[in-house]
Amino acid sequence: MEKRVCYVGLDVHKKLVVYCSKAADGTVVEEGQIAATRGELRRWAEGLSWPWMGGMEATMFTGWIYDTLKPYAVELKVANPQMLRAIVASKRKNDRVDAAKIADALRCNLLPECYMAPQAMRDLRRVLRFRNFVVRLATALKNKTSGLLMECGAEYDKKRLHGKQYFRELLGGLEETPESVKALLRFNRGMLEVFVQTQRRLLQGLVEHPLLATRVERLKTIGGVGDVVALTWVLEVVEPERFGAIRQAVSYCGLCSAERESAGKQRRGPLSKQRNEHLQWVLIEAAKIAVLWNAQLAVVHERELQRGNRNRATLAVARKLVAYLLAVDKSGRNFEPRTVSLLASEKSS
């Protein structure tokens, strides 16, 4: 006799995991809570007497719990928290109820599953996001250096301020600046150099990583795409085949507006908040300078700019950049730019 499969809803938290196991007809088989440690989770999974499918909400704790429980489950799914909210919304809400609702959504095949990247790619993605965090810290330190100088009325060359030689010369010429401010400037400069060197080492390690190097080099054949853009695309998208069309990739990158339609009336809002914010930021920033390196993107930018909106022109370039990245990554071939004649005809049209 074939064993039945149980559907287990998992409500994950920092210190504990609340679970509810249900049969296919909705009967509660077992419920309780487990300490959120790898050892306790493994002991719980090994002690289950039935084959089981699990579902949990995507949180910052989900990754390691998913990796720990996946070998023991028939199938383990991670739900999109924004879409899950509409399903599990109820008047009475607590951890036990949430786990039961997730189990119900799972057994009825209504769980809004989201993509879960392989562990190796998630580990590398964590490194890239940390590198971006270090870059933001370095930028804050640069701004603080300017702020300290402005507070004391010191004159300086903004373009050369963060150069090593110029900074040393500047400190030597600050005659009316308090010694306490000079000490803060030296400390600030030391921290800045540490952060700059750290982010460079992290970036270089990712570019040369065997899992990423080939794809990154291929994507960099697109004019205007550098190490950061290529790495962000590879580590955030992971598998380009999961996008069946360019519009799906554009939506995932947050480069399209929210749409509301009712009674035949359609309204467009600002850029949707349901997006990969890391890709959105990188692509928009890249689109601003990619037109200097890519003739095809320059044509797109100029065409949209003639309509009088610079922001829309940047978005159009970012969307075209997504199309190029997706095509190159899917095909496994280097980017081949169009001929000058084709660009001219497209511009005239």
**HSE-CB for 153 with a 13 A CA cutoff:** 4
User: Cβ distance 315 to 229 under 8 Å?
Assistant: no
Mean pLDDT of 74-96: 81
Confidence of residue 340 (pLDDT cuts 50, 70, 90): very low
Helix then strand then coil, in percent of the chain rounded to 5, is: 55, 15, 30
72 within 8 A of 48, measured Cβ to Cβ: yes
Least confident piece of the model among 66-80, 137-151, 155-169, 333-347: 333-347
Q: In what order do the strands lie in the sheet with 6-12?
A: 28-35, 16-22, 6-12, 52-57, 75-79
Rounded to whole angstroms, how far apart are CA atoms 305 and 308? 5
In the block, tokens 């540490």 appear at 194
More confident residue, 349 or 201: 201
In percent, how much of the chain has pLDDT > 70? 91
CA-nearest of 214, 216, 247, 241 to 229 is 216
pLDDT tens for 311-330 read 889 999 999 999 999 999 99
The structure's pTM equals: 0.87
Provide the 8-state DSSP code for 317.
H
Which residue has better confidence, 4 or 11? Answer: 11
59-63, 111-115, 206-210, range with greatest mean pLDDT: 206-210
Residue written as token pair 């910052």: 60
**Beta-bridge mates of residue 265:** 262
Q: Which two tokens stand for residue 277?
A: 């914010």
Q: Using an 8 Å Cβ cutoff, are 68 and 42 in contact?
A: yes
CATH 3.30.420.40 fits 6-107, yes or no: yes
- Label each residue of 19-62 as H, E or C: EEEECCCCCEEEEEEEECCHHHHHHHHHCCCCCEEEEEECCCCH
Backbone φ and ψ for 257, nearest 5 degrees, come out as -85, 160
Per-residue pLDDT tens over the stretch 260-291: 666 666 666 677 778 899 999 999 999 999 99
Structure tokens at 84: 């899950």
| Alpha-carbon span 226 to 291, nearest angstrom | 13
**How distant is the alpha carbon of residue 297 from its chain centre?**
24
- Name the residue ranges covered by the structural domains of the chain: 6-107, 119-207, 213-348
Structure confidence at residue 1 (pLDDT): 30
Q: Which two tokens stand for residue 89?
A: 């919304």
Report pLDDT digits (tens) over 170-196. 988 888 888 999 999 999 999 999 999
pLDDT of residue 269: 66
**Highest mean pLDDT range out of 76-90, 203-217, 266-280?**
203-217
Q: Looking at residue 236, what is its pLDDT?
A: 96
Of 106 and 343, more confident? 106
User: What's the pLDDT at 120?
Assistant: 95
DSSP state of 328: H
What single string gives the DSSP state of each residue in 95-157? Answer: HHHHHHHHHHHHHTT---B-----HHHHHHHHHHHHHHHHHHHHHHHHHHHHHHHHHTT----
Q: Is the pLDDT of residue 126 over 90?
A: yes
The 8 Å CB, 24+ separation contacts for 89-96 are 95/11, 95/13, 95/18, 95/33, 96/11, 96/18, 96/20, 96/31
For the residues of 292-306, what is the DSSP string, one character each?
TT-HHHHHHHHHHHT
3 state DSSP class of 294: coil
pLDDT band at 39 (very low <50, low <70, confident <90, very high): very high
Using DSSP, state whether 174 is helix, strand or coil: coil
Which residue is it, tokens 């997006």?
A: 275
Tens digit of pLDDT for each residue in 240-262? Answer: 999 999 999 999 999 987 666 66
